[in-house]
A and B are shown apart, each in its own frame.
Chain A
Amino acid sequence: MSSLGNLGDGFLTILTPMNMLWVLVGALLGTAVGVLPGLGSAMAVALLLPVTFSLDPVGAFIMFAGVLFGGLFGDSTAGILMNTPGNSTAIAGSIEGHRMARSGRAAQALATAAIGAFVGGILSSVLVVFFAPSLAELATLFGPAEYLALSVFAFVAISAVVSESVLRGLAALVIGLAIALVGVDGMSGTARFTGGMPELFDGISIVVITVGLLALGEVIAVAARRGTKEDLRVMPSTGRLWLSRAEIRLAIPAWLRGTAIGVPFGIIPVGGSEVPTFLSYGTERRLGSRRADSLFGKGAIQGVAGPEAAGNATAGTAMGALLALGLPTSATAAVMLAAFRQYGLQPGPLLFERASELVWALLASFFVAMAVLLVLNLPFAPLWAKLLKVPRHYLYSGITVFAMLGVYATSSKILDLVLVLAIGLLGFAMRRYGLPVAPVLIAVILGPLAETEFRRAMAVSEGDPSVLVSSPITIVLYLVLALGVTGLLVQRARNRGRAIASEANPS
């Protein structure tokens, strides 16, 4: 029961007025950014990174916890009311959610989403509290070969699963690996691709990359879409604020099923909550079709409850995997990893020993943030939607100002501003031509790790490559990866065949 004792200490650390203020500020900012279309919690954390420099690590990380989950709470609001999900993780929940809004039950949909996010987040945080320490112990058995296998797993899984075409996913991955090569090689001291500029010896900062790809890329995409017909009507939030007993009876099993689906996906590096939210949506739909009075297609409450719970459950366990293994499984976790590194902390097995106070304060702040967010979102979701009435050009120019401010404030280097613009243009081109952004972030974070571990393993074995597949853990990881990718490719080929067949003879 040492976990509970540690968690108690964590609560004692954060239950000070100042720290509670940071949670609240984080939750407000996270929700605000989450509500805006196209911007999610990964970008919110990236924008806040430089701003939190003057805080102590504990204050900064509990603020990040608020931002992280605030983004997840907020992104369903725009999806339900406007059918423009704030983030890809909210798409599944918005399908039925927007239909509920159209049939005059917007308030119930928003409430279901908020409670679902709360249930998923709390349950997965409980799991993290109890299992992260043992996961960290397991991770101490990992050597260079195992870490290489984990990175390769993350690379392939994220490229294959997140993107609609494996080719585009892998191309995005390669772009990320190329960006990560810039800088002085840590093992030999060789300057690589710096063009002789000392500013580049430390590599391109992760703040520059995330802000460029996620924030500036989106702003440019908004500019490019200007003048295109868009349906931006905000549905009035009508209906009862509370859920009837019948609705709760429908929603509770969906919340729990969604959580169960979401939890395992936090540990598998497939790029976050897209897969579990859609799996949950599919499950709810199939279960709903067995009922005679199914509302699917007309706004079924289960279709909102399941995916929202799944999304937050995944985010919770993803943080557990990040803390215990040091392995980011989603874009948001990758940015959080960057945040840890800014404070000179390396997530992974040793973090629980070296910075145990910070870890437990962070875990405790998950619970506090979740409670604060439930209060902020349950009654006030319609108020958040008002944010969408601020003219778009002011919202996004504000974001641009903050992006440039953040990048410049981190380093005081003009070169970083030039880089952020270049990477922003890259992010825009990737959005425009259907390349996923998440593999770039994962590659930038894990690329150097994979290289170092590979070279370390080869140095230990004196050049014998069989060391890479010599332990049971590595063999299992590569086998699972091969099976998963084969299964996915077969599935897609079959779907494509079916699509062509149904196009050929429409019935």
Chain B
Amino acid sequence: MTTHPAPESGPAACLRRRTGLIVPLLLLVTGIVLGAGTLTMEVPPNVASPGPQLFPTVVAVACVVFAVLLGIDVLRRPEPERVAGPADGDPATDAGTAARTAEAADVTASSASTDAPVDVSEGAADDTAGAGATRVRSNRGAVAGLVGTIVAFIALLVPLGWLLSGALLFWGVARALGSRRPVFDIFLSIAISSIVQLAFSAGLGLNLPPGVLAGVF
């Protein structure tokens, strides 16, 4: 976890405030993939006139157009420079959520009465979206731990079986989200995974992979 960085300059900081570019980039790639897929599509010979290629073409073009428009929008309006405060310290954001939500509520109220409620409501919904003057802190370690756990779960589900991989999933996600009692969590996750196995596999008849414990049950 990084503490408050001093105001930076240069291209790195410039990009840091514009990580939102990932969305237009994704749209652009989608558009290109769709376009390529449409060109190489194997269409049966006797297809009625607006064929299966028309819609993908339209969507592909729309992807590229919105990628460009959204890209321009992100470049023109970067996120605020200041990062939201961490859990401890930083008195400036201490009063943060409460004061800011109250403020947002007032703004909402005044504009709700002018019949344009939603744009403000979104702002109040997640003050991450830019209602406050701070940028969202992203805990990259936690996200990486979470995604890594899910990847491991997907890889191990069939070989290990539900009981063990499900327990691993619960344990890993709880840890990534900030649990600090690993040993207690092991028992808890095995309990939850077993309850699920009993309720859904034995009770409701869902098909869960038995894995290495196949013979035990």
Using a CB–CB cutoff of 8 Å, the interface residues on chain A facing chain B are: 50-51, 53-54, 83, 85, 88, 91-92, 95, 161-165, 167-168, 170-171, 174-175, 177-178, 181, 185, 187-193, 216, 219-220, 222-231, 274-275, 278-279, 281-282, 285-286, 296, 391-394, 396-398, 400-402, 404-405, 408-409, 412, 414, 417-418, 421, 425-426, 428-436, 451, 454-455, 458-459, 462-463, 488, 491-492, 495
Contact = CB atoms under 8 A, between A and B. Distances in A.
Contacts of A296: 109
Contacts of B98: 83, 231
B20 to A, nearest CB: 4
Contacts of B42: 190-191
Contacts of A91: 108, 121, 124-125
B137 interface: yes
B2 to A, nearest CB: 10
Contacts of B112: 92, 278-279, 281-282, 285
22 contacts: A190-B47, A190-B52, A223-B145, A227-B86, A227-B142, A229-B94, A278-B121, A279-B112, A279-B117, A281-B108, A396-B177, A397-B177, A400-B150, A404-B166, A405-B200, A414-B154, A430-B23, A434-B129, A435-B23, A454-B55, A491-B116, A495-B114
Contacts of B206: 50-51, 53-54, 409
Given A187-B47, A432-B136, 4 more contacts: A51-B204, A231-B98, A401-B192, A418-B154
A432 B142 contact: no
Interface string B53-70: 011100100110010011
A227 B97 contact: no
A371 B98 CA distance: 35
- Going nearest first, the 6 A-B pairs with the smallest beta carbon separation are A278-B117, A282-B112, A393-B177, A397-B173, A231-B97, A185-B52
Contacts of B123: 164
Given A193-B37, A458-B50, A226 B118 contact: no
Contact of A190 (B20, B41, B93, B122): B41
Contacts of B109: 95, 281-282, 285, 296
B113 interface: yes
Binding site secondary structure of chain B: helix
Contacts, number: 292
B113 A282 contact: yes
Interface residues of B, number: 105
B23 A171 contact: yes
Interface of B: 1, 19-20, 22-24, 26-27, 30, 33-34, 37, 41-44, 47-52, 54-56, 59, 62-63, 66, 69-70, 73-74, 84-87, 90, 93-94, 96-98, 101, 105, 108-109, 111-126, 128-130, 136-140, 142-143, 145-147, 150-151, 153-154, 157-158, 162, 166, 169-171, 173-179, 188-189, 192-193, 196, 200, 204-208
A408 B179 CA distance: 26
A103 to B, nearest CB: 14
Contacts of A274: 117-118, 121
B43 to A, nearest CB: 5
Given A95-B108, A454-B50, A463-B49, A178 B143 contact: no
B200 A409 contact: yes
Nearest to B99: A231
A282 B120 CA distance: 12
Contacts of A187: 47-48, 52
A33 B94 CA distance: 29
Given A227-B1, A397-B177, A405-B196, A412 B207 contact: yes
